[in-house]
Amino acid sequence: MTIGTIETGQAVPVVGAETPAASARIDLKALYHDTQIDAVLAELDAALIGLKPVKRRIREIAAYLLVDKARRSLGLAATPPTLHMAFTGNPGTGKTTVALRMASILHRLGYVRKGHLVSVTRDDLVGQYIGHTAPKTKEVLKRAMGGVLFIDEAYYLYRPENEKDYGQEAIEILLQVMENQREDLVVILAGYGDRMETFFSANPGFRSRIAHHIDFPDYEDAELVAITETLAAAEGYRFDDGARAALVDYVTARRRRPSFANARSMRNAFDRARLRQAMRLFEADAPVDGEALRTITAAEIRASRVFSD
């Protein structure tokens, strides 16, 4: 059964049990494949190691929107769903990656026109003098229309300790657009869980407009090692046995240090390790083969400051 494009803002009549639509059938699995949501979720699984609770929530939201699309196609009464979201968790837990996939899901199901993601922080929205904030915020919103606006560390928009701060102006504009143009823009607010809770308490208008709250847990040690090996493989590198063992020790030590950022910290560790590998090979002053060029050893890992500290 072919289902046409659904206009998310269109008013739909209530269909009674006696109407033909009430007995019509839609194959949800076929719709699932036709819209290629299965491909997007497969990409999410491939892109992110672990995060099972997050992936489960994304699948639940996708299923909900799929059913909503089916209901609309049969003319069943439905108000447009509220799709604004909050992603909470520590840095490097995949929030931006999930936001990208969510934008694709929303586009494929017809809830946003373009499916692009515009990622911003406070500096992109808040001006430094009177009359500067509104144009900045509206320009960002203009770029994001038809897609998803991802505001990282959203709590920095609100600075009650500074009476002359212009963040409140940006907040008021955002709230108005989130309410009045929610059929053409989805906003995702992201940041640390405790700070976001304080932010929502101080700005109840945001809380009332957020339909989906998703918490991103920290990665486990084994997952961080696997993430690093995946990053390395994507760049044509491998860790030898000694390097793998050193990587396990590195994760344990790095987690205890300040500013630990999960997968982001492991990306930085890998980047520094291959710099050390390059220097080691260069200083050896000898011909190298492909295996040497792609192999990172324990020495490259254990040279990190986390071990000396």
80 vs 134, more confident: 134
Residue type, 72: R
What are the extents of the domains in the chain? 20-216, 221-308
**Chain centroid, CA 243 distance in Å:** 30
pLDDT at 5: 33
How open is the CA angle 243-217-57, to the nearest 5 degrees?
A: 125
Residue 90 has pLDDT above 80, yes or no: yes
Calculate mean pLDDT across residues 251-275: 94
Q: What are the backbone angles phi and psi of residue 117, rounded to the nearest 5°?
A: -120, 130
Residue pair 71/78 in contact by the 8 Å Cβ criterion? yes
Work out the percent of the chain whose per-residue pLDDT is above 70.
92
Strands 295-296, 186-191: pairing is unpaired
Which class is 221-308 in CATH?
A: mainly alpha
pLDDT at 17: 41
What would the pLDDT profile of 114-131 be if each residue is shown by its tens digit? 999 999 999 999 988 888
Beta-carbon contacts of 133 under 8 Å, excluding residues fewer than 6 positions away, are 125, 126, 127, 166, 167, 169, 170
Q: What are the backbone angles phi and psi of residue 252, rounded to the nearest 5°?
A: -60, -45
CATH 3.40.50.300 correct for 20-216: yes
For 242-269, give the DSSP string. Answer: HHHHHHHHHHHHHHTSTT--HHHHHHHH
Predicted TM-score of the model (pTM):
0.85
What would the pLDDT profile of 29-60 be if each residue is shown by its tens digit? 888 888 889 999 999 998 899 999 999 999 99
Helix (H, G, I), strand (E, B) or coil at 191: strand
- The conformational region for residue 70 under phi > 0 = left, psi -120 to 50 = alpha, else beta, is alpha
pLDDT at 79: 79
**What's the CA gap between 19 and 15, in Å, rounded?**
6
Specify the residue for token string 């001006």.
127
